[in-house]
């Protein structure tokens, strides 16, 4: 597999990303995930929430519709523009901040920070991932909580398929090539996209460090955060090695 550059996240998140994952980004999925966030964190109307790596703002807008005071932070300015437009169409307000998740420009501001859909583990070193968590801790109020939603590393390994493909409703086909590095714990995925008219192009893909729960607890502790709950999916089911998600809730110490 061709090496993916360390700053892959500046290239991968473009107009192709919503198409590749269209089956996972539906309105129904967003509502289910948002309901889980509200219930698992015990959020009430008026709560201050940061959606970190918010993308085009699907969770941020949904939370604002439920009465939260929401800020979305992302590195992709195009996605933030989409978030603002979607918020305006929904008749709600979402503040947007353009910036790297390692640098959150708030202190003691939020009741909750959410990081959804495996938007953690992007960087080259554990130290950089701890830096993200430290920035989260700094942005949280004294009793604030982090909800960190990632794909379950144990599930990935037990359900490993190196090559796969799927076709969307517009007739575009996405060829997916995966490579899990057992030394680094990184899941590297690249895509070839064949459009309905037969045109083919390559996507740079993603390269994400997938942490075990043991490793994640250590990183949270290094950032002054304490694990308080784990879930295996958005239905609130318990986390174990067979669940598709590893969703950790951590509290600021």
- Residue 159, helix vs strand vs coil: coil
Sheet holding 69-74, edge to edge: 94-98, 69-74, 48-52, 110-115, 140-151, 245-252, 225-231
Backbone angles phi, psi at 85, to 5 degrees: -65, -45
Question: What pLDDT, on the 0 to 100 scale, is given for residue 116?
Answer: 98
Q: Note down pLDDT in tens along the chain; length 253 residues.
A: 556 778 999 999 998 888 888 878 899 999 999 999 999 999 999 999 999 999 999 999 999 999 999 999 999 999 999 999 999 999 999 999 999 999 999 999 999 999 999 999 999 999 999 999 999 999 999 999 999 999 999 999 999 999 999 999 889 999 999 999 999 999 999 999 999 999 999 988 999 999 999 999 999 999 999 999 999 999 999 999 999 999 999 999 8
Task: Give the three-state DSSP class for 72.
Answer: strand
Task: Kindly tell me the burial class for residue 37, based on how many C-beta atoms sit within 10 Å of its own C-beta (0-12, 13-18, 19 or more).
Answer: buried
User: Helix %, strand %, coil % for the chain, to 5?
Assistant: 30, 30, 35
pTM, two decimal places: 0.95
Per-residue model confidence (pLDDT) at position 3 = 65
Cα dihedral: 62, 68, 71, 72 (round 10): -20
């Amino acid at each position: 597999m061709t090496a993916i550059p360390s700053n892959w996240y500046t290239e991968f998140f473009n107009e192709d990303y919503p198409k590749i994952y269209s089956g996972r980004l539906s309105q129904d999925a967003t509502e289910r995930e948002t309901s889980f966030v509200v219930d698992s964190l015990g959020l009430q109307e008026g709560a201050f929430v940061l959606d970190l790596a918010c993308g085009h703002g699907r969770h941020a807008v949904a939370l604002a519709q439920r009465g939260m005071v929401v800020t979305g932070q992302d590195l992709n300015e195009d996605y933030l523009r989409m978030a603002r437009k979607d918020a305006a169409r929904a008749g709600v307000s979402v503040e947007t901040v353009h910036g790297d998740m390692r640098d959150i420009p708030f202190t003691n501001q939020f009741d909750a920070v959410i990081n959804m859909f495996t938007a953690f583990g992007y960087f080259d070193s554990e130290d950089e991932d701890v830096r993200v968590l430290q920035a989260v801790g700094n942005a949280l109020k004294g009793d604030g909580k982090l909800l960190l939603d990632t794909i379950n590393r144990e599930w990935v390994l037990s359900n490993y398929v190196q090559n796969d493909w799927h076709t969307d409703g517009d007739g575009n086909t996405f060829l997916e090539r995966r490579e899990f590095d057992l030394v680094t714990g990184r899941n590297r995925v690249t895509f070839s996209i064949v459009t309905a008219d037969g045109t083919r192009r390559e996507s740079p893909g993603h390269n994400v460090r997938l942490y075990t729960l043991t490793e994640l607890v250590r990183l949270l502790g290094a950032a002054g955060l304490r694990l308080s709950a784990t879930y295996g999916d958005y239905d609130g089911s318990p986390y174990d090695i067979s669940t598709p998600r590893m969703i950790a809730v951590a509290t600021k110490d």
